[in-house]
Structures are given as structure tokens and as C-alpha cells.
Amino acid sequence: MRTQRKFQIWACALLIFGLMSCATLEQQIDAISPVKVSDAEAAVKVGKTLRDSFADINEEEEYYIGRAVSALILSKYSVYNNKALTQYINTVGQAVVVHSDRPEIYAGYHFLILDTNEVNALAAPGGFVFITKGLLKRCKDEEVIAAILAHEVGHVAAKHGLQSIKKSRLVDAFTIIGQEATQRYGPQELAQLTSIFEDVLADIVENLIERGYDRKYEYEADKLGVKVSANTGFNPTGLVDFLQTMVDDYAGQSGKGWFKTHPSAKDRMDRVQKQIQGLKSIPEVQSVRTSRFKGAIQSLK
């Protein structure tokens, strides 16, 4: 009799738990069950309701967009072939990456030197970062390189490149992707999607090379540059010194590279300076870092 009562209590507990779990289960079953959409209309609904902004671009798509943007950058600029210096830049880059807000990205971060005396640095979505020989020549030590790379990593982490894409293109793309959710791409859909892909790349490349990002994105990347380089242990004051050289040279270089695509260096310098003053502690410049920077950079021609 007692056993039967215990059994009843347990059965009740399980039943209550089961009922309580029903809603969760229903959601989970809905989420894990194989695709039930059987017609294009339903699939379009799935695609549309699922994604509608740059934030919905997944890691893999960001990678493929970044690859193509980088392929276009590399069609405009030659690569500076200096294995040791490239490896050094990548090591400084990885040091700041692991101390950033988004250290993991689909295929990791990669850094490349462009063979031009134009002063510029570019970050494509997906972690492809480019720095020019002209900019490297302006860097006096490792602290400056680190702050600039941290600024570029900040652009990637905050998805500024993806935010350059016009929303209408994404809506069109997500609709096509949704429509074709239950079947393979047909040649027509692939052509449509490729056409949107071309426009997406044009939006990003225009901002990266021609127009520059919106000021607010540059200020945000500066903030991240200071924060992340300081978190890594670099002295971010180097960024102020670098910006000072840009202020001094602004008249002569106006209209090219960085000068064309970035807001006033003076304005940025003031903001960076204020941010540094607000840091809890400012790491000291270490001579060992300056020495290895000089060793790495001496081969730069």
C-alpha cells in the first residue's frame, strides 16, 4: 500500500514535470525537427523572419564577403614581400587579437603589408587586415603598430564593414536564400545572389578605399584600439604621437589614403588623449619591445 502511494507520488511528480516541460519541449521539437516547410511561400517566410540586418550575417558569410573584399584590395595594391616583417606584424596582431572583444572569428585574423608609400590601413570583414608600407614607416615603436592594429581589429570586431552594406541588398539576399531553403540553388537564383554579392562588395570597398567609414565608427575603433592595446600591455600614448604626425602632414598628404578616408587627425587625437587619461593604469613602454621593433622594421625599404 505504501509502495503504491510512493509510486503515485513519483508518478505525479513526473507528470507535473512533464507538463511543465511541454512548452519547452514543444519549442525544442519545433527547433530540432527536420525542415517541414514544403512550399516556397513558407520558406520565404522562414528566410525573411530569420534574418533582416547586417547582424544576421553569419560567420561563414562574413568570411566569404571578407575574402572577396580582400581579393579586390589585392587587385589594387601589391603585397610587400618581406616574410620576416610580415611575420612580426602578424605576431603583434595576434597579441592584440587575443586581448580583444572578438578573439575568435571564422578563419582567424590575418595581417598583410601593402607595397605602397600611401599611408593607410584597411580592415575587411572576416579578419583580413592590411597595413601599408607608408604607414609602417611612420611608426616609431611597437606600441604604435599595436594600437593601429588594435584599431583595425576593432573595425572587424564591431562589424563596421558589414554595416556599410545597404539594408535593401541584405533583404533581397535573405529573401532569395529563404526561397531556396528547401532546394538547391537554381542557376537563376545563383546569378541573382551573385549580383547582390557584387553590390555588397561595392558598398564595402567604397567605404574602405574611397569614402571612409562614418566618423562614429572611426571614433569607436579608436576607443577599441586604446582599450585593447592597453589591455595587451602596450602603452597607447603612441597612438597620440602617431596622430600628431598625421596632423603635421595633413596639408601635404590631403586627398590620399588615410587622409581621405579618416576624420580629422586633430579631433581624433584629442579624443584618444582624453580616453588615455581616463585609464586606470597606463602600461610602460618596454625597451625590449622597441628593440625588436627596430630589428624587424630595419629591412623596410
Q: What residues from 252 to 281 belong to the interface with other proteins (CB under 8 A)?
A: none
Does position 282 interact with other proteins (CB under 8 A)? The reply is no
| 184 and 234 Cβ atoms separated by less than 8 Å | no
How would DSSP label each residue in 134-192? Answer: HHHHH--SHHHHHHHHHHHHHHHHTTTTGGGS-HHHHHHHHHHHHHTTTSPPPHHHHHH
Residue 145 to residues 205, 238, 263, 282: CA-CA distances in angstroms? Answer: 23, 9, 19, 17
Q: Measured between alpha carbons, how far is 261 from 79 in angstroms, rounded to an integer?
A: 21
x/- track of binding to other proteins for residues 121-140 (CB under 8 A): -------x------------
- Strand pairing category for 128-132 and 121-124: antiparallel
Buried b (16+ CB within 10 A) or exposed e, 72-97: ebeeebeebebeebbebbbebbbbbb
Taking Cα atoms as reference points, which of 217, 209, 220 lies closest to residue 261? Answer: 209
Q: How far is the CB of 258 from other proteins (least distance, A)?
A: 21
Nearer to other proteins, 198 or 248 (CB): 198
Q: Is residue 178 a contact point for other proteins (CB under 8 A)?
A: yes
Residues 97-126 that bind other proteins (CB under 8 A): 98-99, 101-108, 110-112
Q: Which of 40, 48, 52, 72 binds other proteins (CB under 8 A)?
A: 72
Footprint on residues 25-44 left by other proteins (CB under 8 A): 25, 27-28, 30-37, 43
The reply on whether position 198 binds other proteins by CB under 8 A is yes
- In the sheet with 128-132, reading across from the earlier edge strand, the strands are 110-114, 128-132, 121-124
- Of 153-172, which residues contact other proteins (CB under 8 A)? none
Among 8, 53, 168, 194, binds other proteins (CB under 8 A): 194
Among 54, 65, 156, 240, binds other proteins (CB under 8 A): 65
Question: Is residue 1 at the binding interface for other proteins, with CB under 8 A as the rule?
Answer: no
Contact with other proteins (CB under 8 A) among 173, 224, 239, 297: 173
Nearer to other proteins, 97 or 246 (CB): 97
Cell for 43?
520558406
Q: Smaller CB distance to other proteins: residue 2 or 254?
A: 2
